[in-house]
Structure 1
Amino acid sequence: MNCLRTSPSDSWIYPTVILCLYGYFSMMRPSEPFLIPYLSVPNKNLTSTQITNEVLPVWTYSYLVLLFPVFVLTDYLRYKPVIVLQGISFVVTWLLLLFGQGVMAMQVVEFVFGMVSATEVAYYAYIYSVVSPEHYQRVSGYCRSVTLVAYTTASVLAQLLVSLGNLSYFYLNVISLVSVSMAFLFSLFLPMPKKSMFFHAKPKRETPEKPPEQDPVPQETWQGQKSSYQEPVTILGNLEDGEKSSPAHEAVRVFAQWFQDLKECYSSERLRYWSLWWALATAGFNQVLNYVQILWEYKAPFQDSEVYNGAVEATATFGGAVAAFAVGYVKVNWDLLGELALAVFSVINAGSLLLMHYTLNIWVCYTGYLIFKSSYMLLITIAVFQIVVNLSVERYALVFGMDTFIALVIQTIMTVIVVDQRGLNLPISIQFLVYGSYFAVIAGIFLIRSMYILYSAKCRKEVQSPAAIQRLAKEEIQTVSTKL
């Protein structure tokens, strides 16, 4: 390990290995597919109504409240302290799950887990501060893949232990506690970054020259590649060389630059629509994941039937991963057909959720969930690529932060209206009717948008066709002749 830490040529290996180990153990949580059955057993003795209306909504609210301050602190503290905080939050969450009793204790669990979700940004942002840009793509792939493998492994292990080993849900949580404790220990060995993307970045005094005209890089791509660290002159003015800014001045500078960058990014119509789908779909997806186990318990009570939650989660995650991997080999003109794909897969999502609502068979309900999660993971992979393709690392961190915040606002509104006892307080089956209708509305929005794009492309093609050009030339000649 020491040679990995000190070798300049391999300086990216040590933090990548430690971060991947952290990611693996933090996601190796076999208790998660069986959370609702665990909370329903006599030891915890919570009713489905209490879990749905009083416990689970706390996660959404805390995630929303904590996201922005944690996002700011993550960059200001240079990532590692926030990753350590996430590790501590994991441990506290599972200690409370094991030994806490009553609705209030479980609400605290959901609040602390909201901290876990909010601090997740540090895991994916950390690597960009400790490795060189040529390793970004490879390291990002490692970090994302290892969490997927860990979640799938945990789900399979949980199902085997429950179905074949007849293991108590309590001991699944013990295994999860051991795993997240290992993650916390690994977080302590992460190197402390010397820089971050915003607060501790070195401002660039010079703007790089624009590429020559013959370079076929679109203007939008070029704008995305500019540094996000230039001083916002119109707001703050340039600092003199050697002048040290105060923390307040630095915060204002960074916030002003964020505003300028977001304004430039969202000036792209294409990015706006992909981000809109990402925010809308992610809000609905998180809502479904939060409450799907309640629906399964409603369709087939856990006390009266065998529970296959782990197998379903593992299959859905693996299917989504395969679909997402296959996207890289599909050649599609996303500029022309992107919105149509968003509409089609939103229809599939809506149909699978409506199937889950109307069916009385738990296996059909499971199948609907498999289709829903796999299709979402497929399209979210495409959406992520379409959003980041023309953005620098700094800017897509901002864009995804903003998109996540918008998704959480939408999800919070949905939770207050549909789930919360202060809102409509709908039964779980009716909730999935609402979620299916929600995705149907998303499909309608992007279907209309795709029809407009295809019609516009057809019109442009007709105008540019040889026959159309010849016809216009004849009309121009006739006009000139008439005037003469």
Structure 2
Amino acid sequence: MLFSYFIIWCGQSLLAVQIIQITYGFGAAARMAFSSYMFLLVPEEEYQRMTSLTTTTSLLSFVLASELSQLLALVKFSYSIFLGLTLTSLGICCVTAFLLPKDCPSSLIYSSVTASRVQNEGWIRLLEETWKGRNLQILSLWWALAYAGFSLVQIYGTNLFDAIDSQSKFNGHVLAASQAAGSLGAICAVYIEQYTIKSGVVIYVIGSAVMCIVCLGMGLLAKIWVAYLLYVVISGIYQTLTCLVSVHCGRLLSNGKFILLFSVNNFVGLLLETLLQAALEISRLSISTQYVCFAGFFLLATVIFIVLPFADDDGKSKNDSSLTSNDEPEPLILETR
């Protein structure tokens, strides 16, 4: 990330922009490595607290950055000041990275993910081993679908606000408020985790249904403050659920390959988001109709996760941990190892 912003400061060519895209991609990928590193660093009973606290810190830093940049923009500071502040914070981040613990009790698990083992086992076998278990597969699917749907809501949020009221000056503050709501949701995940473990996918079904209703309201109600409020609400719901689902997936993982699990789940979500965004751009739908489509997407996800946990698994469910001793399927229950 630091290198990317140095190029932004100095580069003025198309090649510089292309290099920025590559380096920024590496920086974004490092977030997945950090998440898996944190899971390896703490005991299982601390997964939820750790995930919620790191997510809250990240979102609150975005709130601070948004409001600070809004303030600097109002007093008409130059872009060089913005870049200078960004480079300073990233420089501090790089120095801090060298202070992170280099050894942890789970380091043997982490070191087991080596290139030689991948070559010996093959990628297909490695993926099958990582996503072993029906519960983990169902939760990973929800993770990817929710990621895609919410990313589209975020991408087109300012477009919706501009379409409703192009004169509004509160868009930036609302984006910051949505991140604050997300941080609050991440903290709430710590306190509701025990209630959601036994409920299985019920919490995710309810969350998908509520996000469907919120998107429908954003698309059909042409009121700017209603759109603002609903945007903040859906951000809080999503961050709460994504903190829960990442921890549930981490606890169901049997081989310790957190970085593979998190990366692939996010990659599938990003791929789905890209395909849906391409379809929206080709169809040239109005922004309000797009949000109705987002509502339909979350409705489809809701139906899928009502039906999927109780669907037959073509004989494979006999070996699944979610089955009782008489081999009859139960609703998904998320139990720790």
- Rounded to whole Å, the distance in 2 between the matches of 1:446 and 1:141 is 24
- What whole-Å deviation, never above 9, does each CA across 1:202-259 have from its counterpart, x for those lacking one? 7xxxxxxxxxxxxxxxxxxxxxxxx46569xxxxxxxxxxxxxxxxxx6343355565
Q: Please report the RMSD computed on the Cα atoms of aligned residues, expressed in angstroms.
A: 3.9
* Match among 301, 304, 315 for residue 445 of structure 1: 304
* 1:155 to partner: Cα distance: 2.7
The number of aligned residues is 307
Q: Does structure 2 conserve the Cα–Cα contact (< 8 Å) formed by 1:316 and 1:373?
A: yes
| Equivalent residue number for residue 355 of structure 1 | 217
The structural deviation recorded for 1:176 is 3.7
The question of whether the paired residues in 2 share the 8 Å contact of 1:261 and 1:395 is answered with no
Counterpart of 1:180 in structure 2: which amino acid? T
Aligned counterpart, 1:121: 32
Q: Which has the higher contact order (CA 8 A, sep 6+)?
A: 2
Change (3 A) 1:89 1:146: same
TM-score (norm 1): 0.54
In structure 1, the gaps of 5 or more residues are 1-85, 203-226, 232-249, 454-459, 461-484
Please report how far the alpha carbon of residue 448 of structure 1 lies from its aligned counterpart in structure 2 after TM superposition.
Answer: 2.6
Is 2:289 aligned against 1:430? yes
Larger Rg belongs to: 1
Report 1:284-363 matches (<5 A): 284-301=149-166, 305-330=167-192, 331-332=194-195, 334-335=197-198, 337-363=199-225
**Paired position in structure 1 for 2:3:** 88
Per the TM alignment, residue 370 of structure 1 is displaced from its structure 2 partner at its CA by 1.1
Distance 2:20 2:165 in 1: 26
C-alpha distance 120-425 of structure 1, shift in aligned 2 (>3 A): farther
Q: In the superposition, relative to structure 1, how do residues 107 and 353 fare at CA in structure 2: closer, same or farther (>3 Å)?
A: farther
Q: Is contact 1:295-1:429 (8 Å) kept? A: yes
Q: 1:405 aligns with which of 261, 264, 267?
A: 267
- Aligned with 1:338: secondary structure? coil
Pick aligned residue for 1:274 from 107, 116, 139: 139
- Aligned equivalent of 1:177, options 69, 77, 83: 83
Q: Is the 8 A contact 1:284 1:439 kept in 2?
A: yes
CA contact (8 A) 2:130 2:255 kept: no
Which amino acid in the other structure matches residue 60 of structure 2? Answer: V
Deviation at 1:442, TM superposition (A): 0.6
Question: CA, structure 1 residues 358+403, in 2 after alignment: closer, same or farther (shift >3 Å)?
Answer: same
* Alignment equivalent of 1:372, drawn from 228, 234, 238: 234
The residue identity in structure 2 corresponding to 1:117 is A
Identify the residue that residue 253 of structure 1 maps to in structure 2.
117
Superposed, which structure 2 residues align to 1:53-132 within 5 Å? 86-93=1-8, 95=9, 113-125=24-36
Is the Cα contact below 8 Å between 1:342 and 1:379 reproduced in 2? yes
Q: CA deviation at 1:425?
A: 3.6
Q: Is the 8 A contact 1:346 1:439 kept in 2?
A: yes
2:57 aligned to 146, 152, 156, which one? 146
C-alpha contact 1:228 1:394 (8 A) present in aligned 2: yes
Paired letter, 1:424:
S
Residues 157, 190 of structure 1: CA spacing in aligned structure 2 closer, same or farther, 3 A cutoff?
Answer: closer
Asked if the contact 1:158/1:310 (under 8 Å) is kept, the reply is: no
Shift of 1:451: 7.0
Instruction: Tell me the amino acid that sits aligned with residue 429 of structure 1.
Output: S
Alignment of 1:283 with 2:190, yes or no, is: no
- Tell me, in whole angstroms, the C-alpha distance in 2 between the residues paired with 1:161 and 1:375: 30
8 Å contact from structure 2 (residues 215, 294) kept in 1: yes
1:320 and 1:377 in contact (8 A); partners too: yes
Residue 383 of structure 1 corresponds to: 245
- Amino acid across the alignment from 1:264: E
Q: CA–CA distance in 1 between the matches of 2:33 and 2:291? A: 32
2:98 to 166, 191, 204: 191
Q: Which moved more, 1:340-349 or 1:270-279?
A: 340-349
- The answer (yes or no) to whether the contact 2:53–2:187 under 8 Å persists in 1 is no
**Contact 1:159 / 1:309 at 8 angstroms: preserved in 2?**
no
Task: From the superposition, tell whether residues 334 and 189 of structure 1 become closer, same or farther in structure 2 (CA, over 3 Å).
Answer: closer
- Unaligned 5+ runs, structure 2: 313-323, 325-337
Report how far residue 158 of structure 1 moved: 4.0
With normalisation by structure 2, the TM-score equals: 0.75
